[in-house]
Amino acid sequence: MAKAIEVSDLNIYYGKFHAVQDVTMTIRAKAVTAFIGPSGCGKSTFLRSLNRMHEVIPGAHVRGTVMVDGQSLYEPNVDPVEVRRRIGMVFQRPNPFPTMSIYDNVLAGNKLNAKRIKKADADVIVEKSLRGANLWNEVKDRLGKPGMGLSGGQQQRLCIARAIAVEPDVLLMDEPCSALDPISTAAVEDLIHELKQNYTIAIVTHNMQQAARVSDDTGFFNLKGAGQPGHLVEFNPTKKVFTNPEQKATEDYISGRFG
């Protein structure tokens, strides 16, 4: 079931380095939220903090709160692995597991979270997930073939199928189309529109036209200066951000004056 994410006064650090400063926002349930901004402004770091993926880097830590369904994700008793199951991640480059078939790629997360899955139940999960990723009709006759044998766009949709197979509440996407051709990009964007009927989605993109096409809300991140932390300049409905932004820095970025 899709859930909203409440972020309050979030500061993100890598050791002593202050990467992102004082972010407060609500990522709405069953909506697409886009994060835009120049390279190095902390938008991907912020995205990864929403499911504690940034913690794979030694010394990474946060101050502030991230709440999902009334639960703080950073409480000492919260298991990061469970957080990542509830809040799935799709990365910039498609990353099917190279030694696994299409079928086993879809089930990879489920097998990590369950000791054993009956074949009939596994078949249902695979078909449902591939249909959810608009990939079933393209691969249903070659489920035993390697996932790496698919095209780039199909591989990315396979990774989305793998993410939704564990029935998360939220999907995070870090530049999911940057490595794809225009036709594959259009397919993934169409899929994002469909997925928001059932999931809360947050996406980082350098493509402002893409942000305008797929998102309901947009957050613009920027740097205060060289060596300074990234911060959230503006967070509003996407139409407002792109047609009547509140901040001059937002307008300058969208119009191409910098970035």
What confidence category does residue 179 fall into, taking pLDDT thresholds of 50, 70 and 90? confident
Residue 225 confidence class, pLDDT cut points 50, 70, 90: confident
- For the chain, the domains span 5-95+168-254
> Are 82 and 113 a contacting pair, CB within 8 Å?
no
Of 180, 189, 231, the residue nearest 43 (C-alpha): 231
In this prediction, residue 227 carries a pLDDT of 77
Query: Which pLDDT does position 69 carry in this prediction?
Result: 86
Tens digits of residue pLDDT in 97-109: 999 999 999 999 8
Contact 247, 234 (CB under 8 A): yes
Q: What would the mean pLDDT of 139-152 be, rounded to a whole number? A: 95
Instruction: Give the strand order in the sheet containing 71-72.
Output: 71-72, 60-68, 5-14, 17-27, 230-237, 217-223, 32-36, 200-204, 170-174, 87-90
* Domain 5-95+168-254 superfamily per CATH: P-loop containing nucleotide triphosphate hydrolases (3.40.50.300)
| pTM of the complete model | 0.91
Band (pLDDT 50/70/90 cuts) for residue 70 is: confident
* Mean of all residue pLDDT scores within the chain: 93
